[in-house]
Amino acid sequence: MSLEDTVLARIRPTPQEEKDLEVMVHDLLAAVGAALESRGWEAKPFVSGSVAKGTHLTGADVDLFVAFPPDLPREDLETRGLALGELLDRGVHMYAEHPYTRGFYRGFQVEIVPCYRITEASQRMSAVDRTPLHVDYVLGHLNEGQADQIRLLKAWSEGIGLYGAEAKIRGFSGYLCELLVLKYGSFRGVLEASLGWRRGGVLELDRAAARTFDEPLVLVDPVDPNRNVASAVSLEQMASFVHAAREYLRQPRESFFFPKPLKTLTAARLRAVAKKRGGTLLAVSIRAPGVTEDVLYPQLRKAHRVLLELFGREGFAVHDSRFDVAGKDAVFLFEFTTARLPRVLRHEGPPVWVKNAKEFLEKWKSNPRTLAGPFISQDRWTVDVSRAVVDAASLVKVSWRALSLGKDLERSARQTLRVHSGPAALRAAYADAWTRLFEKRFPWER
């Protein structure tokens, strides 16, 4: 038995699981249909996603879509969709382009998703509404044996940490994996082809792009040529996919599909690693707001970028950093090569002969922050002034309120923002996050 056959035996649903899934789906469709009839709502429930295409892995979630008439007001669509979600146990309302419900039915995790009934992508609705067209396309082009090739690509992508288009991962969606196999024929065909990918390259199946895309990886949606199926894939994730493909083709092994979990470093080990590296550490924490990951992670990414820009503007050199979620906190971790600066800061003014030079002189000649000058350096007035803050921790404390962190994070930060520097940054609660910062091995190398 080949490596990939061995993997398939682990990731393909068993006959019993398929039977249980079929019974559950039948009963759920009947329950939703009865709920629609009792309320007098016109709509069609159907299974979508990987289960409908037969490309699902063992333990897969079930996506049940409910297609309402296109002329139904959006408010009614959302209200009715969430009402149907009450059929699920432990249901939680989620929010994407249309609100939907995630919960459990007969032991299976299920999402009940309302959408508008459309027959072609030119009926400009949302990505959710186009999902049934994606199902039809894949089923209409899937050759014998390719469902298992898709399963391999999905499991491989998950094993290397790149599966999922959600904001947390910014990787390869299930639909993208399906289309890649349809284009290149097989799991290995996709990996081999990826070695030729370059930033900005455009991949097509049946239809050419209807517009220009600026994402790192582009695969034109054969259902809607105005859409890039790979739009979520970040440049780093694309590069990681290519590297992993090269390594797997060179030496295939199960660890690409089933990597060992990352082992969290102990507090003592973290301190030893930090001491050996010699940088200065800083942790900024904010209680994570109670929003979905697809709302939270773009704000975390934005706040991380804004903090890096702040340090850069003020002259604090960051060697490495990351953002993470640790328990109930969003954390931003920084390792500085320069976390403390001298009190003196040289401030350059205008050339001597310009008209506003006088204003510069008047501002700084008797300013309490002036340490030396004004004096002439080359052809410009210059002054040595005293910095307002000399360490990165203090800079965050005095500056964060002026930063644009994202509305939910900003609201939470008003009461919960904390700054921990030096050894205090290596808090036990953040051990996983610090481990991920220091640990640079790829998942299959652990």
pLDDT recorded at residue 176: 97
Q: Which domain, by its residues, includes 360?
A: 344-386
Confirm whether 177 is domain-assigned.
yes
- Average pLDDT of the residues in 249-270: 94
Condensed to tens digits (0 to 9), the pLDDT of residues 391-412 reads: 999 999 999 998 998 889 999 9
| Total Cβ atoms within 10 A of residue 103 | 18
User: What tokens does 425 get?
Assistant: 């940054």
CB 241 within 8 A of CB 180: no
- Average pLDDT of the residues in 194-210: 93
Residues 6+ apart with CB under 8 A from 230: 172, 176, 203, 215, 217, 218, 219
Confirm whether 391 is domain-assigned.
no
Same domain, 14 and 108: yes
Same domain, 13 and 88: yes
Rounded alpha-carbon distances, angstroms, from residue 419 to 286, 287, 395, 402, 430: 9, 12, 10, 16, 13
Rounded alpha-carbon distances, angstroms, from residue 82 to 116, 125, 335, 416: 14, 19, 45, 32
Question: Cis before residue 342, ω within 30 degrees of 0?
Answer: no
**CA triplet 393, 168, 205: central angle to 5 degrees?**
140
Which of 110-124, 185-199, 261-275 shows the lowest per-residue confidence on average (mean pLDDT)?
110-124
Same domain, 430 and 284: yes
Confirm whether 323 is domain-assigned.
yes
pLDDT recorded at residue 406: 87
User: What tokens does 300 get?
Assistant: 């975390």
**Mean pLDDT over the full length of the chain:** 91
Same domain, 197 and 249: yes
pLDDT recorded at residue 123: 61
User: What confidence tier does 333 reach under pLDDT thresholds 50, 70, 90?
Assistant: very high
User: What confidence tier does 366 reach under pLDDT thresholds 50, 70, 90?
Assistant: confident
pLDDT recorded at residue 350: 86
CB 240 within 8 A of CB 160: yes
State the Cα–Cα distance between residues 54 and 63, nearest whole angstrom.
13
Same domain, 272 and 238: no
Give Cα 19 to chain centroid, integer Å. 34
Given a cut of 80, whether residue 125 has pLDDT beyond it is no
Same domain, 326 and 431: yes
Same domain, 207 and 278: no
Confirm whether 51 is domain-assigned.
yes
Condensed to tens digits (0 to 9), the pLDDT of residues 11-45 reads: 999 999 999 999 999 999 999 999 999 999 999 99
pLDDT recorded at residue 334: 97
Burial string for 7-40 (b: 16+ CB within 10 Å, else e) reads bbeebbbeeeeeeebeebbeebeeebeebbeeee
User: What tokens does 260 get?
Assistant: 């060992």
Q: What is the CA radius of gyration of the chain?
A: 27
Confirm whether 109 is domain-assigned.
yes
Condensed to tens digits (0 to 9), the pLDDT of residues 53-84 reads: 999 999 889 999 999 988 899 899 889 999 99
State the Cα–Cα distance between residues 247 and 253, nearest whole angstrom.
10
Same domain, 332 and 349: no
pLDDT recorded at residue 12: 95
pLDDT recorded at residue 365: 87
Same domain, 40 and 59: yes
Confirm whether 129 is domain-assigned.
no
Residue with the bigger pLDDT between 121 and 185: it is 185
User: What confidence tier does 94 reach under pLDDT thresholds 50, 70, 90?
Assistant: confident
Specify the number of domains making up the chain: 4
pLDDT recorded at residue 130: 79
State the Cα–Cα distance between residues 315 and 305, nearest whole angstrom.
16
Residue with tokens 């999402």, as numbered in its chain: 111
pLDDT recorded at residue 290: 85
Provide the whole-model pTM.
Answer: 0.89
Element containing residue 420 per DSSP (H, E):
strand 418-421
Which of 9-18, 187-196, 303-312, 370-379 shows the lowest per-residue confidence on average (mean pLDDT)?
370-379
Q: Which amino acid is at 330?
A: A
Residues 6+ apart with CB under 8 A from 4: 152, 187, 252
Cα atoms in the Cβ-side hemisphere of radius 13 Å centred on 394: 9
pLDDT recorded at residue 96: 66
Confirm whether 262 is domain-assigned.
no
The closest of 440, 436, 446, 441 to 254, measured between CA atoms, is 446
Same domain, 202 and 326: no
Given a cut of 60, whether residue 124 has pLDDT beyond it is no
What's the CATH number where 299 sits? 3.30.70.590
What's the CATH number where 161 sits? 1.10.1410.30
Inter-axis angle of helices 146-159 and 3-11, to 10 degrees?
90
Residue with the bigger pLDDT between 374 and 120: it is 374
Rounded alpha-carbon distances, angstroms, from residue 436 to 32, 66, 320, 332, 418: 43, 40, 11, 12, 21
Please report, rounded to a whole number, the percentage of residues in the chain having pLDDT higher than 70: 98
pLDDT recorded at residue 142: 94
Same domain, 10 and 94: yes
- Average pLDDT of the residues in 372-398: 90
- Average pLDDT of the residues in 302-309: 95
- Average pLDDT of the residues in 203-223: 93
Same domain, 159 and 201: yes
Burial string for 239-256 (b: 16+ CB within 10 Å, else e) reads ebbbebbebbeeebeebb
User: What confidence tier does 101 reach under pLDDT thresholds 50, 70, 90?
Assistant: very high
The backbone torsions φ and ψ at residue 190, rounded to the nearest 5 degrees and listed phi first, read -65, -45
